[in-house]
Chain A
């Protein structure tokens, strides 16, 4: 399985030192950290102010109260961190064509990006989503910051199974119910849904202040239409609908054109909405995608 590569030392070694590209300021470490203005629960004192009811008494400066008899609250400079949520499409369409192993590609990319995010001690979590009859199913891992805990993603990555329909907007809606601080959301999917669905989903993520990256995963076969020639009945893996198709050169050309149109439309939407769009077509191109395409597209620095 391709997702096993995500935990191979050689693969992780290539990712060591990479940083997720982001337009936000973040706490920098070892000269790279950028000090933000956000006041929070850091350890570095920042200022004093008068106590007002409701303040945490733990931060009351008792020495100043003893000497000056004034209630003074100490404030600290908070560290600026970016929560990274990596949403992985686990619908049935990610499992076909079987030899394309799109789900494996998506998991490998997601885990790799998670590893890169953990390089900055940013909290990272993986979210798998797929539509079910009872609603959208979301499986979420806890946020993990330190690289030492990267291995804890392994059970999630290795046991994730595909199934159900692709409902990106429903998954995003369910995710946003957590009302977390804006961070970075990376959506990895084949986006084989109606344009309205993914446009709504990505728009809602943008609406709550998330920085959104759209990774478009497609298999080699479905991207090129390289099916064995002959008469077939094709079955939609999610809807279960059938259709009689005769594969041949003409059919392959039509498939390629349709896949290109689909990717072009998604790319155009992302460009229009300021979303970073990165195609990842083909398992065989995994190394090129991680080493060349993602840096070129600014997914990682």
Chain B
């Protein structure tokens, strides 16, 4: 028992006011009469006159005032309350790709690991006392609350049924966020296939309240790590398959190109080893799909998509005043697609290229590239506007820095070590472009885009803000610059109606009016395009997303692979060794809680006042007068 605010006990001075009222009551109307002998037979209560009238009314009013005083002061009780009675319980689920894995033994839990977790959670809900409130939340890339706190078990079960694994790896940050959200609960049940880190639990302050339910058993899994379609008619493609099991596994691998099976073989993968499967060269460009048809625990990593460049001869223009840059860029363009006919030209030399020629790709370095007719443009180190020039720039340049460094890049996030670049231009990206890499000027903190991509109408436009002189793109210490350039070139030469993205990435696609998105599981939803007709969504399932609209459809192929998430062979014992000691079962234990008793005190005061009112009413009726 204690008081939240003992200062509020000063309200007990109101008892003095009550005493004063009763003293004042002594001065009730005094009537002077000739003699008391005339009132000897009056049937009135004879009260002895004294300083303070301590009658039943006084005690009732003192009780009411005392109760209200303690209520205001915040009187509370420390009670040992058993867990599970009118408690808030949080059910937190790992929704990473591994939770979709199925155990191949087929004995205990024929469904997925998420199904097993769902079953445990349903038992918890069924065995919970009436009045317990459940929150259902999940985490993978981000933490999300599936079901807000509620006492209806049916709604909680419906929320459990709505849980679905995502083809992404569960991020530790998402786990921390989910635990932080759930820390308001009295008991937290975490369902995952691997124990959380002790740091995550300590950060959320859940020691003693977390029940960890590890679901799933070690299972063999084969995953397609990567797929390189190669160049049709030129180079072979490669498919890398990894065996995460501690035993050799059979693997039926099928590779299809343009809807036709180009490779089908049964392979034996060594324990925890990768096998590189060459195929091709492909007879034609287009979509290439590799899939493992043999059964394993996780299906999300059993397929992968790639795009083979077209076999049609394409023309590319590399425009730069620097011969070394022209040479480097031409090599990179040819590396992406050997079928390119590359024209390297110096803009200062008239006639170095035919302005009327149509190019499929133009790589323009330190130049405006006016007069170039191309379907796709890659602007590298864009030229700033000339003094007095009023010609509009495709990508406006607002300034320049002498030494820039790359700090983050799409696909990798923040780089572990910034990549030191050379001079760079500061760009004012038009709204139809999206940055792919950002950096800062050395010694400053204001970041600016270093790479961007977008569609200006039907023209694909990419931009690299940094200079690539001095063989920067071929410097092995600055591979991120090369990867960024290659990624941009891939985007520039890729068809607009076929996109291949990793799962978990935000996909931006150009769609017409009224676009609808059909996910790999068949679910359909309506997308809202922006003013440039682009839609943006996140791929959380592996497979093909199809954006349909009034015009041509756009297909987005999502590839999933995560070495940590796909490794299902980690035995529980090993996992437990790294698990925190705190998450132990606490169900059924009594917990010391603080129970404010303001409401009972107020009710007590009201009852006291009510009883006094009844007594006064009875007296008024008995004496037939209102002055009682």
**Which A residues lie at the B interface, using CB under 8 A?**
93-94, 96-97, 102, 190, 192, 219, 222, 225, 227, 229-239, 241-251, 254-255, 257-259, 262
In this assembly, does B550 line the interface, its C-beta being within 8 Å of a C-beta of chain A?
A: no
Q: Give the distance to chain B from A88, nearest Cβ to Cβ, in Å.
A: 15
**Which B residues lie at the A interface, using CB under 8 A?**
26, 28-47, 49, 623-628
Q: Whole-angstrom distance between the alpha carbons of A227 and B46 in the complex?
A: 18
B33 and A222 within 8 A (CB):
yes
> 16 new A-B pairs (CB below 8 Å) besides A234-B30, A234-B33?
A94-B34, A192-B37, A219-B34, A225-B38, A229-B625, A231-B627, A233-B28, A233-B30, A234-B36, A235-B30, A244-B44, A246-B623, A255-B38, A255-B39, A255-B42, A259-B38
Q: Whole-angstrom distance between the alpha carbons of A229 and B627 in the complex?
A: 8
SS of B interface (majority): loop
- Give B46's nearest chain A residue, CB to CB: A244
Given contacts A246-B623, A248-B624, contact A234 B34 (CB under 8 A): no
A102 — which chain B residues lie within 8 A by C-beta? Answer: 34
B28 and A192 within 8 A (CB):
no
B47 — which chain A residues lie within 8 A by C-beta? Answer: 244
Given contacts A190-B34, A235-B31, contact A243 B46 (CB under 8 A): yes
Q: Whole-angstrom distance between the alpha carbons of A244 and B40 in the complex?
A: 11
12 contacts between A and B (CB under 8 A): A192-B34, A232-B31, A233-B28, A233-B49, A234-B30, A234-B32, A236-B33, A238-B34, A244-B47, A248-B623, A248-B625, A258-B40
B627 and A230 within 8 A (CB):
yes
Given contacts A230-B29, A257-B41, contact A236 B623 (CB under 8 A): no
B33 and A235 within 8 A (CB):
yes
B38 and A222 within 8 A (CB):
yes
Q: Whole-angstrom distance between the alpha carbons of A229 and B626 in the complex?
A: 8
- Give B49's nearest chain A residue, CB to CB: A242
- Closest A-B pairs by Cβ, 10 of them: A230-B627, A93-B34, A192-B35, A254-B41, A246-B44, A229-B625, A251-B42, A236-B36, A245-B44, A232-B31
Q: Give the distance to chain A from B581, nearest Cβ to Cβ, in Å.
A: 74
B625 and A96 within 8 A (CB):
no
B34 and A233 within 8 A (CB):
no
- Give B36's nearest chain A residue, CB to CB: A236
B36 — which chain A residues lie within 8 A by C-beta? Answer: 234, 236, 239, 241, 243
A231 — which chain B residues lie within 8 A by C-beta? Answer: 28-29, 625, 627-628
A237 and B623 within 8 A (CB):
no
SS of A interface (majority): mixed
Most chain A CB within 10 A, of B29, B33, B36, B627, is at B33
Point out the residue from A190, A229, A234, A237 that lies within 8 Å of B39, measured CB to CB. Answer: A234
- Give B619's nearest chain A residue, CB to CB: A246
B46 — which chain A residues lie within 8 A by C-beta? Answer: 243-244
Q: Whole-angstrom distance between the alpha carbons of A229 and B624 in the complex?
A: 9
Q: Whole-angstrom distance between the alpha carbons of A232 and B33 in the complex?
A: 11
A257 — which chain B residues lie within 8 A by C-beta? Answer: 41
A233 and B38 within 8 A (CB):
no
Given contacts A244-B46, A245-B42, A245-B44, contact A227 B31 (CB under 8 A): yes
Q: Give the distance to chain B from A161, nearest Cβ to Cβ, in Å.
A: 16
A262 — which chain B residues lie within 8 A by C-beta? Answer: 37-38
Q: Whole-angstrom distance between the alpha carbons of A245 and B623 in the complex?
A: 11
A242 — which chain B residues lie within 8 A by C-beta? Answer: 30, 49
Q: Whole-angstrom distance between the alpha carbons of A97 and B26 in the complex?
A: 22
Q: Whole-angstrom distance between the alpha carbons of A257 and B43 in the complex?
A: 13
Q: Whole-angstrom distance between the alpha carbons of A219 and B38 in the complex?
A: 12
Q: Give the distance to chain A from B42, nearest Cβ to Cβ, in Å.
A: 4
Q: Whole-angstrom distance between the alpha carbons of A208 and B202 in the complex?
A: 115
Q: Whole-angstrom distance between the alpha carbons of A210 and B627 in the complex?
A: 51
Most chain A CB within 10 A, of B36, B42, B43, B623, is at B42
Q: Whole-angstrom distance between the alpha carbons of A238 and B38 in the complex?
A: 13
A248 — which chain B residues lie within 8 A by C-beta? Answer: 623-625
A249 — which chain B residues lie within 8 A by C-beta? Answer: 624
A258 and B37 within 8 A (CB):
yes
A251 and B44 within 8 A (CB):
yes
Q: Whole-angstrom distance between the alpha carbons of A262 and B38 in the complex?
A: 8
Q: Whole-angstrom distance between the alpha carbons of A40 and B564 in the complex?
A: 152
A233 and B625 within 8 A (CB):
no
A230 and B38 within 8 A (CB):
no
Q: Give the distance to chain A from B484, nearest Cβ to Cβ, in Å.
A: 96
Q: Give the distance to chain B from A274, nearest Cβ to Cβ, in Å.
A: 26
Q: Whole-angstrom distance between the alpha carbons of A258 and B33 in the complex?
A: 14
A238 — which chain B residues lie within 8 A by C-beta? Answer: 34-35
Most chain B CB within 10 A, of A231, A248, A254, is at A231
A259 — which chain B residues lie within 8 A by C-beta? Answer: 38
A246 and B45 within 8 A (CB):
yes
Given contacts A243-B46, A250-B43, A257-B41, contact A96 B32 (CB under 8 A): yes
A250 — which chain B residues lie within 8 A by C-beta? Answer: 42-43, 623-624
- Give B40's nearest chain A residue, CB to CB: A258
Q: Give the distance to chain B from A152, nearest Cβ to Cβ, in Å.
A: 30
Q: Whole-angstrom distance between the alpha carbons of A239 and B35 in the complex?
A: 8
A239 — which chain B residues lie within 8 A by C-beta? Answer: 36
Q: Whole-angstrom distance between the alpha carbons of A245 and B49 in the complex?
A: 12
A229 — which chain B residues lie within 8 A by C-beta? Answer: 624-625, 627
Q: Give the distance to chain B from A225, nearest Cβ to Cβ, in Å.
A: 8
B29 and A246 within 8 A (CB):
no
A251 — which chain B residues lie within 8 A by C-beta? Answer: 39, 42-44
- Give A238's nearest chain B residue, CB to CB: B35
Q: Whole-angstrom distance between the alpha carbons of A235 and B32 in the complex?
A: 5
Q: Give the distance to chain A from B570, nearest Cβ to Cβ, in Å.
A: 87
Q: Whole-angstrom distance between the alpha carbons of A249 and B44 in the complex?
A: 11
Q: Whole-angstrom distance between the alpha carbons of A265 and B304 in the complex?
A: 125
Q: Whole-angstrom distance between the alpha carbons of A239 and B40 in the complex?
A: 15
A254 — which chain B residues lie within 8 A by C-beta? Answer: 39, 41-43
B625 and A230 within 8 A (CB):
yes
Given contacts A245-B44, A251-B43, A258-B38, contact A234 B31 (CB under 8 A): yes
B38 and A192 within 8 A (CB):
yes
Q: Give the distance to chain B from A264, nearest Cβ to Cβ, in Å.
A: 14
Most chain B CB within 10 A, of A219, A225, A250, is at A250
Given contacts A192-B37, A243-B39, A255-B39, contact A232 B28 (CB under 8 A): yes
